[in-house]
Amino acid sequence: MKPDDLVGKARGGRVVASGFLDPEAQEALRTLAARAGLGLVWFGGLPAAERRLGVLHPPEVPEVADPVWVGWLAAEDPERTAARLRRALDADELGDVRLTPEGVLFAATRAARARLAGAGLDATDPPEGIRPRPRRKTRTLVVPSLRVDVVGAKGFGVSRSYFAKGVKAGKVRLRGRVAGAKDEVREGDTLIAEGLGQVTLLRVVGRTTRGNYKVELAAEK
């Protein structure tokens, strides 16, 4: 379904889900939802997922359900099995795919499970110890600015100089593209940093007497 159609249905009072989107498409949908005054919640299934599915909802709806299923394919040849998985599902049905020595861990829409069975892929829920557990921590912090290097360093708990090196090396993404150190993070934005995870600026709480920003951040590793 096209983004404009999703927004139209949500404005009509429905809760609607997009397919899995790359970061660039996520930013486009986020912009449309904000302009329409709609709520938008992202689900990726796996920790620090890059491909995510958005659920649009009217502002009067307080909470939405997670529509993502995390599946497991045991395999002797994970790369070959992952290729079969990608052929079996449409792009918007499949989220992140992660290979392990024992098989393939992936995120998908719940409706995709039946299609995988029809394609001869015996996907199951991940066995105990296979599915990585997200480590999500929400904190309220004070930052001197909303620059990428400042917010990222605070959110991940690393030095600003260390995080700035990652930004300079092109390892940090913001709103679907490689971030620059001077880019500013907005409410609802997610910074994805290679090797560190992701940090979302949930909201700007306010300003301190010294002019700094008090922000609520959620870090997921």
84-129 pLDDT, tens digit per residue, is: 999 999 999 999 999 999 999 999 998 898 889 888 999 999 988 8
pLDDT at position 134 is 62
Q: How do residues 36-77 score in pLDDT, each as one tens digit?
A: 999 998 888 987 788 999 999 998 887 888 899 999 999 999
Helical residues (DSSP H) of the chain, grouped into ranges: 3-11, 23-36, 78-88, 112-118, 148-156, 160-168
Judged against a pLDDT cut of 80, whether residue 133 lies above it is answered with no
pLDDT average, residue stretch 12-23: 92
Band the pLDDT of 212: cuts 50, 70, 90: very high
**pTM here?**
0.72
Question: What is the model's pLDDT at position 183?
Answer: 94
CA-based angle 126:131:158, to the nearest 5?
170
pLDDT over 70 at 135, yes or no: no
Q: Give Dmax (Cα) for the chain.
A: 63
- Each residue's pLDDT tens digit, 166-191: 999 999 988 878 999 889 999 888 88
The string of pLDDT tens digits covering residues 144-160 is 999 999 999 999 899 99
